[in-house]
Structure 1
Amino acid sequence: MLQHVVQHAARWGVDPARTAVFGESTGSMVAALAAIRARESGPLLRAQVLVNPAVDLTPAGFEYASMRRHANSPTLTMPQMRLFQRLAVPAGTDPRAVSPLHADDLSGRAPALVVVPTVDPVADHGRTYAERLRAAGTPARLTEYPGATHAFLSMPGVVPQAKPARAEIVEFLQGALARGAHA
């Protein structure tokens, strides 16, 4: 899909030299997978923004402390996560294939902004993914929003942390898209 958008940039009104991916929740999984695959097959990405990312659909992904601590959070529960895993990882499928956290090589990826609300079952997914990106040499900024719940970004009138998070994302993308292409 990303290649399609870039290949048809004029049709979409997109500058193919200034491309980023952005995702929230399961959309972060898709965005992270696109950033991983972009290094091998293009396009060249300048940034990736991952908000409350769910990036580990392996059985180990359910063992993080944040999963236990926030299993019944107001906006995402453990039963919802189990359902998502069953839908995303059909029986007989290797869950690592759709788990960016388990990618073999995270080096050379586009710089990342990882936004983590602290009252979120997948908070530790985001923290761990940012660490893995950094360990691989990929620039990754991790920002935590204390007291915010999963999907908080879409609730700026209700969750006070959403406005500063949105401002941070805009600032990050403006900086990333203004610079030269990511190599």
Structure 2
Amino acid sequence: MVFQALSSAYMPIGAVLVSPEVSDVIHSQSNKLGREKNILEQVNKIAPKFQEGLKAFSDSPIIGEVGCKISLSSKHPESTFFIRACPLAQIRGTGLILGTEFVDNKSPHDPYPPEWGVGAYFGAQCEKHGMLVRVSGDNIMMSPPFIMTLEEIDELISIYGKALQATEERVKELKSQSK
């Protein structure tokens, strides 16, 4: 499904691939949307379909499976290593969504010097072990797909832990050089 690829199934984003014939019919009727007197009329036309989509999404067994996968996976000691033992980052998340902000002493007011490229280094370490993460400065964002297996979640946790250990060593090295 295309919509799951756009947001890893975390947000109700939709996209549809259609043939030119279907696209032509949709385009020929597109001038009829937007003729309402105000935005409430537009919302009232769209809302029922949006609610149907949300209901289908919330009724999906995928949502329950993710919670089960995370609770089973969190029984492994390596899954909590990086949250408890990492002094160089604030790590937060819920379910499979995870954010990491690399800051000194876990304080948002003490960022690392930008020239150190801590986030980029972490991203490179993840890539070295076969996992891609979104890097934005010293912030890392992860939102893997809901359809991950327990083995894949364990592998994600393992790679994340290895990358954090390597990044922690790199930060120690950079701190010693800057003294």
TM-score normalised per structure 2:
0.26
Q: TM-score, normalised by structure 1?
A: 0.25
Q: Which has the higher strand share?
A: 1
Q: Which has the higher contact order (CA 8 A, sep 6+)?
A: 1
Answer 1 or 2: which has greater helix percent. Answer: 2
